[in-house]
């Protein structure tokens, strides 16, 4: 079996890297037809590259982000196309990040791109059943067009490491791009509530709400947060291994309730106990007090209480960490996800 992995995708983005690696680990030959050129040049570059390999593959997978690439793919080939939608442009940019009003021309444009790209594909990949339900309702698509392929994490990059925490304080880790669904403001407010409990936070990353978050921390005079702008992906494992607890997402947006983010799988893969917001999506794979600790939606107070619960209960902390890592090993590695994707291809 030979797959053409096609589009404007970034090879280093975890979703693409994991699926390509997983396919190769399951004896699927992957030919990459990819460009990182900008503007109209990227279309001509893909056309030229595809011409050289058009007879060499059985199925095409359009990598994330691939919204416009699906249109080109359908023009170039009559072979089956799998579109790794992964997320909705309309949902991400309009509903979650609120870049424009829902009734604006820009909103309609993003909705139309989502709709057309899904219509042109033979099969659409998404990361949760909650996300699939959203696509079916929003874009009027049939359920049998979708397959759930979870996000997972690369077990050769993110893995448990024995790193001694040199701090005397209980260390809480978060990394992200400060988009609304992550709810970083809840973490800052929880940190304020825990100042007197020897709890320290590492918050790694920058992004959309970063300035707002830094101002919030300043206004609250929070003194137990270390803001760290950038850490290479290969080093994240060390930071998570130093931590006593890793945090997921806590945003009060609809998208936050539909996704299971990269950082949650990465935390499971690192062998660190995880606290995240309770959602239908998260409950697709996780069980409270078995392999995760759930906190209430939109409650920094409950997040603070859950951090203290793990701080004060070594047995629970070890249980959640061990079960979480075993869950990852048995379900979310590239090889396991690649095997599931291979089955999707075989059943087209």
Tell me the CATH number at 283: 3.40.50.2000
- Predicted local confidence at residue 95, as pLDDT: 87
Are 28 and 40 within 8 A, CB to CB?
no
In a domain, residue 159? The reply is no
Task: Say if residue 340 is in the same domain as residue 326.
Answer: no
CB count within 10 Å of CB 195 equals 15
Task: Say if residue 249 is in the same domain as residue 300.
Answer: yes
In a domain, residue 161? The reply is no
Task: Say if residue 85 is in the same domain as residue 127.
Answer: yes
In a domain, residue 164? The reply is no
Task: Say if residue 129 is in the same domain as residue 199.
Answer: no
Which of 75, 91, 92, 74 has the alpha carbon at shortest distance from 83? Answer: 74
Task: Say if residue 251 is in the same domain as residue 326.
Answer: yes
Report the domain count for the chain: 2
Largest distance between two CA atoms of the chain: 66
In a domain, residue 312? The reply is yes
Instruction: Read off the pTM.
Output: 0.92
- Predicted local confidence at residue 17, as pLDDT: 96
Task: Say if residue 322 is in the same domain as residue 176.
Answer: yes
In a domain, residue 14? The reply is yes
Which of 154, 190, 158 has the alpha carbon at shortest distance from 300? Answer: 190
- Predicted local confidence at residue 165, as pLDDT: 63
Sheet of 81-84, strands arranged across: 29-34, 2-7, 59-62, 81-84, 123-126, 146-148
Q: What stretches in the chain show pLDDT beneath 50?
A: none
CA dist 151 and 154 (Å) reads 10
Task: Say if residue 294 is in the same domain as residue 260.
Answer: yes
- Predicted local confidence at residue 166, as pLDDT: 65
Task: Say if residue 180 is in the same domain as residue 314.
Answer: yes
Task: Say if residue 245 is in the same domain as residue 297.
Answer: yes
Task: Say if residue 144 is in the same domain as residue 22.
Answer: yes
- Predicted local confidence at residue 96, as pLDDT: 84
- Predicted local confidence at residue 212, as pLDDT: 96
First to last CA, the chain: 13
Q: Residue 32 is part of which domain span?
A: 2-152+333-346
């Amino acid at each position: 079996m030979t797959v053409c992995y096609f589009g404007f995708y970034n090879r280093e983005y975890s979703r693409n890297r994991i699926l390509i690696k997983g396919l190769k680990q399951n004896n699927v030959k992957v030919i990459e037809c990819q460009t990182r050129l900008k503007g109209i040049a990227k279309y001509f570059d893909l056309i030229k590259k595809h011409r050289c390999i058009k007879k060499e593959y059985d199925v095409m997978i359009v990598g994330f982000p691939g919204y416009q690439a699906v249109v080109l793919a359908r023009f170039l080939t009559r072979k089956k196309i799998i579109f790794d939608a992964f997320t909705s442009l309309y949902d991400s940019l309009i509903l979650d990040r609120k870049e424009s009003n829902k009734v604006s021309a820009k909103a309609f444009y993003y909705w139309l791109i989502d709709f057309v790209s899904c219509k042109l594909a033979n099969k659409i990949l998404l990361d949760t059943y909650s996300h699939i339900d959203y696509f079916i309702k929003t874009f009027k698509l049939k359920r049998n067009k979708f397959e759930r392929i979870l996000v997972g994490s690369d077990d050769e990059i993110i893995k448990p490491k024995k790193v001694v925490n040199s701090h005397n304080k209980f260390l809480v880790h978060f990394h992200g791009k400060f988009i609304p669904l992550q709810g970083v403001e809840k973490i800052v407010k929880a940190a304020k509530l825990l100042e007197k409990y020897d709890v320290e936070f590492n918050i790694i990353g920058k992004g959309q709400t970063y300035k707002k978050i830094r101002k919030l921390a300043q206004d609250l005079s929070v003194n137990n947060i270390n803001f760290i702008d950038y850490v290479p992906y290969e080093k994240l494992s060390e930071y998570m291994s130093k931590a006593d607890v890793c945090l997921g997402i806590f945003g009060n947006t609809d998208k936050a309730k539909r996704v299971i983010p990269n950082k949650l799988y990465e935390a499971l893969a690192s062998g660190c106990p995880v606290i995240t917001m309770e959602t239908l999506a998260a409950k697709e794979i996780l069980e409270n007090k078995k392999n995760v600790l759930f906190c209430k939606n939109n409650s920094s107070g409950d997040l603070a209480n859950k951090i203290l619960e793990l701080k004060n209960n070594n047995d629970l902390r070890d249980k959640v960490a061990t079960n979480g890592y075993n869950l990852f090993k048995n379900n979310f590695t590239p090889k396991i996800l690649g095997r599931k994707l291979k089955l999707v291809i075989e059943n087209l």
